[in-house]
Structure 1
Amino acid sequence: MLIAVFEDDLASSLQPLTLTRPSFMIRCGAQLLYEKIMSELEGKFVFCARGEVVEAARERLSGLGEVVSTDDLRALASGEDLLLVNGRWLFDKSLLRIGDECVALKDGELVYAYLRGDDAEKIAERCRSLPEFLDALRAELGEFRVDEARILRYPWDLIEYNREEILNDLKRLKRFKAWREPASIPGAYLVGENDFLISSTAKIYPCTVLDSSDGPVIIDDEAVVMPHSYLRGPCYVGRETWIVGGKVSASSIGHVCRVGGEVEETIIQGFSNKYHAGFLGHSYVGEWVNLGALTTVSDLKNDYSSVKVPIGGKLVDSGRVKVGAFIGDHVKTSIGLLLSTGSVIGVMCNLVTSGEPYPKYVPSFTWYVKGQVRDWIGVESMIEAAERMMARRGIRMSEAEKRLYRRLYEETREERREFAERVLRS
């Protein structure tokens, strides 16, 4: 069976997280979205990504499956039975009905579709793009509803579902390898009766508290939890990540991060630093972000009203009382920076505090220093700074990633100009 994980037009509603990656490469729980699918299904995988990110995604997914543009249907016309899986679906194998050809929908959105190889080939041959292919499937195959499916529509959905996804990923991770007995951790205090999954290569120092009262605590390979750290589940600490003190609760911290201070109900994609004091709550942080000491995110309005978040040029009501910030890749903040409730920060921004909360939306590649926009900083200087940070973790920025950032820089040029004019007027 051919398994095609695809992203659709609504991937843009998950920006800034999807500016630099396909929607199925976002983290929720302990795993990236595509990892959940690959850990449950066997077959040949194809990943269908937007053209602007396909080249960078192809490098990252090398060896896992073919990566093609959503405008290229040749990989789907292989003659094999085809299972199409929406990359924004928090995968649940129990909802699959494989056998009869079908299209599964949630609130009108395609969750997955299954069709036999000869039909897949015939339909693909007469369609020019994946959206056209999906529309043809809905017109020709039987549809049914899967109301239990959880489809990501906005960035705050990731925070909403993260607790449950840590529990779901726990079951998958238990199958992959043996984990260390918690009783073999001298000097650490273990509280609660839920699971502790601790890698045999993780180092847990004395005077740490691991609390599973509200959910499992998962600490992956070569992670380090330093003294005076409090981890409250459900919580995931990724490979080679350091928790350097403070409180981390109900959060997923990706691989190779450095995290301290107070972190609550937050996801960090990976390779990012929040080493010092400061609060980060109900937020999502991309890769290669450095949050300066005392950077603080507001996740609750003083009047306890629903938080509105800038999405696609409009303020969208999240319907939630607690929403923090959504921060794109390669963002840097100065010491003492204050981010407003429901903030969105684009990729490669450099923010230096003015002593007041920042605007709710800052376009990608903006250098905003003490209330002024520095628009003479070019993309090549930003890429060089990003390369220096990545080199500290032994990672090189690929040429495909550089081309992606240069393209994004040009695409967001007008947006930055309008932002700078608004700042001047204010």
Structure 2
Amino acid sequence: MPQELFIFEDNRFINFYPITLLRPAYFLRPGIRYLYETMANSFAEYNTNLFCRKKLCGLVSEKTACPVNKTVFPNTEGTVLLNGRLRPEPNLFAALHKADANVLILSKGELVGAKIFGALSLEEIGFLIEMNFDGLINKLKDRAEVMEIEIGFYNYLWDLVDDIDRAVGDDVSYLKKSQDISESFIIGSGKDISMAFPGVVFINGENILISRDARILPGVVLNGSDGPIYIDSEVFVEPHTYLIGPVYVGPKSRLVGGKITGCSIGPVCRIGGEVEESIIQGYSNKYHAGFLGHAYVGEWVNFGAMTTNSDLRNDYKNVRASVHGEIIDTGRLKVGSFIGDFTKTAIGTLLNTGINIGIACNILGNGLVAEKEIPSFTWYSSGRKHEYKIPKALETMEKSMVRRGIKLSQPLKDNLQEIFRNRLNHESNSEQD
């Protein structure tokens, strides 16, 4: 009989705005794999099922073959539930595999996961779909032993940025073990490396994996001394690019020169200049000079030439960031920017430390953009904020996507229109601290 894995997002998805406005939290990616993929790989013999906010079902279904918010599971041998915000924890996964009785796992009252022999009831699945986790916990307590543990969650976007180095390293190790890398990748220390990539400098090449269909031109330096470098299929790297691992470069991305350190770059990106300790979800362009550091960037973002974010305060105090209107002490000296999908910056834009910019914004900075948070669909110019009308925004999005051979789907359009209708009408807190 089949075994089912339920990966769910909980009600803290708001903490990851603006990136989770258009995706569940388990679609975030600190390394090579999305969070849900790491969990699914750890339960490979299970059927993976995803649970998310109802309005995101169409979007999630476009991105994965996994069933989304499914309600009926006949003849199920057992069910494992996992919170999609979990930091990878092999000991927890191993314990769930070995568990021989129903168990409910909590951490400070939050639902970590569970293992239930047989299927969940329709009522329990209903609680999951409605994101009523108090109801689900109370129901599962009736038939499962409760275990309270201490475990790590991702709580904010800067937690994922902090985890790039570990995640890229762990993902490379997993991929090396799970498949025959030699069939599709060249290792930077192999005997044929100089013939495959003449004029390319490899430092600690045993930590460098390059897809056999990638193109790397002479004058590129790849340094695997501090962590692995993983260059995926059809990537093109131009001269005068310096990569310092750990770095992941996703399929069909293009690096056009500059220094890239400790980053996870998704598919179909165009990246240049200096990028440090940042995650770029995919389909985004930072083609020109400028600095991006300790940032999380969504999809379809475009940085104008010389756009630069600050990631360190001059007084070396902790960076304070605004998330959904709430000012939070990040507890970190270095925090850059968080930029939602479809946002664009003009040439020479300077972004404040820890700035949070929503979906579909146009940022025309005349000097430093000192705001803490800019709501979605904002046209920002010289400190003034205007509404970015949805028809004009959608027209620009469609033009951007068709250049990459992708159509603006109806589920994406519906969600964008809802974000426009329901965007918060709060003013960004621009206090200087």
- On whether the aligned pair clears a TM of 0.5, the verdict is yes
Contact 1:194 1:213 in 2 (8 A): no
Q: Which amino acid aligns with 1:102?
A: V
Secondary structure of the equivalent of 2:327? strand
Contact 1:194 1:215 in 2 (8 A): no
Tell me which moved more, 226-235 or 106-115: 106-115
Match of 1:110 in 2: 111
Contact 1:203 1:222 in 2 (8 A): yes
Match of 2:411 in 1: 400
1:138 shift after superposition: 4.6
Match of 1:263 in 2: 275
User: What is the rounded CA distance, in whole Å, between the counterparts of 1:125 and 1:160 in structure 2?
Assistant: 34
1:82 equivalenced with 2:82 (yes/no): no
1:304 equivalenced with 2:304 (yes/no): no
Secondary structure of the equivalent of 2:115? strand
Map residues 259-298 of structure 1 onto 2, 5 A cutoff. 259-298=271-310
1:312 shift after superposition: 2.8
Contact 1:39 1:172 in 2 (8 A): no
Match of 2:351 in 1: 339
Give the paired residue count: 410
Cα-to-partner distance string for 1:74-132 (whole Å, 9 max, x where unaligned)? 246764411111111133343222333212334442222111115x2376278584422
Tell me which moved more, 11-20 or 124-133: 124-133
Match of 1:4 among 6, 20, 25: 6
1:354 shift after superposition: 1.4
1:197 shift after superposition: 1.2
Residues 319 and 193 of structure 1: is their aligned pair in 2 closer, same or farther, counting only changes over 3 Å? same
1:378 equivalenced with 2:404 (yes/no): no
1:177 shift after superposition: 4.4
User: Given the two structures, how large is their TM-score scaled by the length of structure 1?
Assistant: 0.91
1:364 equivalenced with 2:376 (yes/no): yes
Contact 1:251 1:264 in 2 (8 A): yes
Residues 391 and 127 of structure 1: is their aligned pair in 2 closer, same or farther, counting only changes over 3 Å? closer
Q: Which amino acid aligns with 1:279?
A: F
Residues 197 and 249 of structure 1: is their aligned pair in 2 closer, same or farther, counting only changes over 3 Å? same
Match of 1:19 in 2: 21
1:193 shift after superposition: 6.0
Match of 2:54 in 1: 51
1:201 shift after superposition: 0.8
Match of 1:101 in 2: 102
1:253 equivalenced with 2:265 (yes/no): yes
Map residues 59-208 of structure 1 onto 2, 5 A cutoff. 59-61=62-64, 64-68=65-69, 74-75=71-72, 79-96=76-93, 97=95, 98=97, 99=99, 100-118=101-119, 120-121=120-121, 124=124, 127=127, 129-130=130-131, 131=133, 132-138=135-141, 140-147=143-150, 149-174=151-176, 175-178=178-181, 179-182=185-188, 183=190, 184=193, 185-192=197-204, 195-208=207-220
Match of 1:409 among 415, 420, 426: 420
Q: Which amino acid aligns with 1:59?
A: E
Q: Which amino acid aligns with 2:46?
A: G
1:381 shift after superposition: 1.1
Structure 1: which 5+ residue stretches go unaligned? none
Match of 1:238 in 2: 250
Structure 2: which 5+ residue stretches go unaligned? none
Match of 2:341 among 320, 329, 332: 329
Residues 108 and 124 of structure 1: is their aligned pair in 2 closer, same or farther, counting only changes over 3 Å? closer
Q: Which amino acid aligns with 1:114?
A: K
Superposition RMSD on alpha carbons, in Å?
A: 2.1
Contact 2:275 2:291 in 1 (8 A): yes
1:140 shift after superposition: 4.5
User: Given the two structures, how large is their TM-score scaled by the length of structure 2?
Assistant: 0.90
User: What is the rounded CA distance, in whole Å, between the counterparts of 1:228 and 1:353 in structure 2?
Assistant: 29
Q: Which amino acid aligns with 2:392?
A: S
Q: Which amino acid aligns with 1:309?
A: A
User: What is the rounded CA distance, in whole Å, between the counterparts of 2:142 and 2:198 in structure 1?
Assistant: 61
Contact 1:76 1:124 in 2 (8 A): no
User: What is the rounded CA distance, in whole Å, between the counterparts of 1:103 and 1:314 in structure 2?
Assistant: 32
Residues 123 and 79 of structure 1: is their aligned pair in 2 closer, same or farther, counting only changes over 3 Å? farther
Contact 2:251 2:268 in 1 (8 A): yes
Q: Which amino acid aligns with 1:397?
A: L
User: What is the rounded CA distance, in whole Å, between the counterparts of 1:291 and 1:220 in structure 2?
Assistant: 23
Contact 1:232 1:248 in 2 (8 A): yes
Contact 2:220 2:237 in 1 (8 A): yes
Secondary structure of the equivalent of 1:280? strand
Secondary structure of the equivalent of 1:201? coil
Cα-to-partner distance string for 1:235-267 (whole Å, 9 max, x where unaligned)? 101101111100000110001000000000000
Contact 2:323 2:373 in 1 (8 A): no
